[in-house]
Structure 1
Amino acid sequence: MKLSNNIIGILNFLTLLLSIPILVMGIWLHKQATSECDRWLEKPIIALGVFLLIVSLMGFIGACFRVSWLLWFYLLFMFLLIVLLFVFTIFSFVVTNKGAGEKLSDKGYKEYRLGDYSHWLQKRVNNNKNWNKIKSCLQSSQFCSLYHNQFANDTVDKFYTENLSALQSGCCKPSNDCGFTYVNPTTWTKTGNVTYTNPDCDAWVNDPNILCFNCKSCKAGLLQNIKGDWKKSAVVNIIFLIFLIIVYTVGCCAFKNNRRDNY
């Protein structure tokens, strides 16, 4: 058997083994799901497991048993995956090119404005259906409760020097524009009879289940997190893309071997 067939067979056998725990994890999450966050996560995991299982079987059988038509479909799927991954990588760089936190001269943390980010990302979080799911996840994870416990003993001066994350700054405290009086990290006293220019000030509520989850700053904090994650994933995608191109090239050699032997 030719070297290229051996390589494709081994790689797809390893991928086949990898797809089994991924699929099992997705099914387990489906049965254990108790929140909207869990239900959202299970679907892509199951889809990934099924995709890897089917493609790996096609590549393994096509290369090891010289089934040319299966190997042809395998190469077709690989080509489409390479194209999609390339497009997604370029897209992720484009949509995350805009947006950054605003530094405050007397604060250790930054503040985030929704309008600074790309229109495509803004449109996603401004969709009420999408945002209600995201907000439900943030609330059920008790994200701001953990933030409160972390900085509960801070005085106002100490709190202002803290290096808060984008989500903590955007969702768990009011905007600096509001000028509220600090009581504790999640409790702030509003100034009476004041007209605020920033609509987030009116949206702020001291209720731990509300806080600033309805604020634009919270959406901006989420987009800042997404921006960082997508930039990291884009680098990983480039490495993975190079690997896929190499595997695809070896697969083409295996396909030629199959056709030659069959002929």
Structure 2
Amino acid sequence: MSIHHDSCKRSLTLPVIVLGAVIFVVSIIGFFGALKNNSILLWIYLILLCIILLAILVFTVLAFIVTNNGSGHTVAGLRYKEYQLQDYHSWFLKRLNNSHNWEHLKSCLVKSDDCNDLSRKYKTLKQFKSAKLSPIEAGCCRPPSECGYPVVNSSFYDLSFHPISSIKDCKLYKNSKNIKCYNCDSCKAGVAQYMKTEWRVVAIFNVVLFVVLSGVYFVGCCARRNAAKNRSKT
């Protein structure tokens, strides 16, 4: 998802920044504890690192659970998939159906290039029909295929045609770049699929981070024992 609004960037990167800052502070405590051979600092370091490890473990397990549901549906004649909101985990549904959360996400989508760039990326109708759209492009930038609206170009549909489906998304879609299908369930489903993919990447990274920090924790335990032995000798 191409996001150029500062608040949108902050909302996506803040958890990673906070985790990095906490690990940095804890590492400083461990460094000075080892440097000064101070068992108290090393105890504080090990306790904090243990809390971080438990938090990473819990988050990773939850991430794999909530990203286990949901997948795209193939549509005849299209190279990309369409997504349905009810397919995803209730955790995603609760947050995406929250009006405050969705208004913030919607403002990010309107300011992004996901829909605005389609007319520049696909000059002809043939190019657009053979395109492999992202989940957000497929869900937010166009009406669902079951509506049956004739495609004029990559950013315009003939809405004078009566939709062949009764789903509410067909009535919510507008050709205006500020409206599109941003209020549609298909758009929320596209965002859910995007979040699912990103969370899976973060979860895999957290598995690696957990293994590395576990090794660091073991080294810290050895350093604390050595500090305790040296202290008892003196």
Would you call these one fold, judging by a TM-score over 0.5? yes
Work out whether 1:224 is the aligned partner of 2:178: no
Partner of 1:200: 169
Q: Deviations over 1:126-184 (max 9, x none)?
A: 11111111111111123211122111x222x5422211111100010110011111111
- Structure 2 counterpart of 1:154, from 124, 139, 148: 124
SS at structure 2 position matched to 1:81: helix
- Structure 1 counterpart of 2:38, from 44, 67, 89: 67
Partner of 2:217: 248
- Structure 2 counterpart of 1:176, from 134, 139, 145: 145
What letter corresponds to residue 109 of structure 1 in structure 2?
Y
Q: Which sections of structure 2, spanning at least 5 residues, go unmatched?
A: none
Q: Deviations over 1:94-151 (max 9, x none)?
A: 1011100000122111110000001111111111111111111111123211122111
**Residues 158 and 53 (structure 1), Cα distance of their counterparts in 2 relative to 1, 3 Å cut:** closer
- Structure 2 counterpart of 1:80, from 47, 51, 68: 51
TM-score w.r.t. length of structure 2: 0.90
Identity of aligned residues (%): 38
Matched pairs, number: 229
- Quote the offset at 1:250 in angstroms: 0.8
**Conserved? CA contact 1:114–1:217, under 8 Å:** yes
- Quote the offset at 1:225 in angstroms: 1.1
| Structure 1 range deviating more: 47-56 or 126-135 | 47-56
- Quote the offset at 1:240 in angstroms: 1.3
Q: Which sections of structure 1, spanning at least 5 residues, go unmatched?
A: 1-32
CA distance in 1, matches of 2:10, 2:199: 22
Partner of 1:258: 227
**Residues 41 and 90 (structure 1), Cα distance of their counterparts in 2 relative to 1, 3 Å cut:** closer
TM-score w.r.t. length of structure 1: 0.81
